[in-house]
Amino acid sequence: MKLLPLTPPGQTPTRVMTIAGTDSGGGAGIQADLRTFAMLGVHGCVAVAAVTVQNSVGVKGFHEVPVDIIAGQIQVVAEDIGIQAAKTGMLASAEIIGAVAETWRGLGTEAPLVVDPVCASMHGDPLLHPSALDSVRNELFPIASLVTPNLDEVRLITGIEVVDEATQRDAAKALHALGPKWALVKGGHLRTSAQSPDLLYNGTDFYEFGAERIDTGHDHGAGDTLAAAAACALAHGMDMPDAVAFAKGWVTECLRAAYPLGHGHGPVSALFRLHHGS
Ligand code: PXL
């Protein structure tokens, strides 16, 4: 696949921030984001919002970082290092979402923000208090350039059960109506065809993205990786449909390279790039 332009050694690369939760097992969350950032030649900055206690089998618990510390991480990095894009992942609570949204708005930046509205782990362990869904809709979505919910998150956020192409379109419209510039409804869990088409919508036009379906038991961190790659592509100035196409291609290669880890689900692997020599 065609990758992003690399900055020559010794020169400051493009900077992208992840505002999300850590995964002690190293599969998803901030760890997945940083792997993708690094493998795409981007300098990754971090605002840790929550710390999960987790392995390949599940999430045993999490600790929320105090909101002033989360806001502070975003603020000091933005004013000194500068970021060309950011993505959000696990934000855990309404209070944290409120602080992130307020801090982001306060930066007055034009940098694109990719919002992956993480609600639960692949094992169904909650990563967001149910009471925070209103904040996702009313505070986070309006500042997003792109939102990337999976089908469970679509149902929680819009109430729409996506079962076919028509309901996927309805969901894209309902998500877009909440305020993001673009909404992506991932078709990954829609098993109506061999493909897993994702649908992108900007209030006017629909764009469809098919990709080879990779059936692997090891897809921990796939959603995080897609959103992280999209943020990197946007940081490089790609337009949204191209950035989503790029991210989809990237996560497909990461799925192809996914590996077993522990006794549960292994992670998708951005490390495939090390074997490409590109
Ligand atoms: O893949 C979603 C996700 C995001 N962030 C953290 C996670 C998970 C899934 O387990 O643990 C920290």
Q: Name the band, by pLDDT with cuts 50, 70 and 90, for residue 264.
A: very high
User: Which ranges of the chain does DSSP label H, i.e. alpha helix?
Assistant: 29-39, 67-80, 94-107, 133-135, 151-158, 165-176, 222-235, 240-256
Contacts of 179 (CB under 8 A, 6+ apart): 141, 142, 143, 144
User: Which comes out higher in pLDDT, residue 197 or 232?
Assistant: 232
Is residue 267 one of the residues assigned to a domain?
no
Structurally, the chain folds into a number of domains equal to 1
Nearest CA to 12 out of 65, 105, 81 is that of 81
Q: What is the pLDDT of residues 135-171, one digit of tens each?
A: 999 999 999 999 999 999 999 999 999 999 999 999 9
**Averaged pLDDT, 6-15:** 97
Would you give the DSSP letter of residue 195?
S
- Distance in angstroms (rounded) separating the CA atoms of residues 78 and 208: 34
For residue 278, pLDDT beyond 80? no
pLDDT at 189: 61
Closest ligand 1 atom, CA of 90? Answer: 5
- Taking CA atoms only, the protein residue closest to ligand 1 atom 7 is 29
Share of the chain above pLDDT 90, in %: 90
Residue 20 Cα distances to 57, 81, 171, angstroms: 20, 19, 25
CA distances to 85, 111, 150, 171 from 62, in Å? 26, 29, 22, 30
Q: Identify residue 15 by its one-letter amino acid code.
A: R
pLDDT score, position 276: 73
How far is the centre of ligand 1, averaged over its atoms, from the C-alpha of 60 (Å)?
12
Counting Cα atoms < 13 Å in the Cβ hemisphere of 80 gives 7
- Please indicate, yes or no, if residue 38 is contained in any of the structural domains: yes
Q: Looking at residue 69, which CATH number applies to its domain? A: 3.40.1190.20
8 A C-beta contact, residue 90 and residue 20:
yes
Which of 115, 118, 226 to mutate for ligand 1's pocket (most ligand atoms within 8 Å of CB)?
Answer: 118
Q: Is the pLDDT of residue 109 over 90?
A: yes
- Is pLDDT above 70 for 191? no
What confidence category does residue 97 fall into, taking pLDDT thresholds of 50, 70 and 90? very high
> Which residues form the domain of 127?
14-256
Kindly state the average pLDDT of the residues 106-130: 95
Q: Which atom of ligand 1 is nearest to the CA of 125?
A: 10
Ligand 1: residue of 48, 52, 96 to mutate (most ligand atoms within 8 A of CB) is 52
pTM: 0.97
pLDDT of residue 122: 87
Which whole-number Å values give the CA distances from 261 to 3, 56, 171, 267, in the listed order?
27, 7, 34, 7
Q: Is residue 264 part of a domain?
A: no
Q: Residue 215 has what DSSP assignment?
A: -
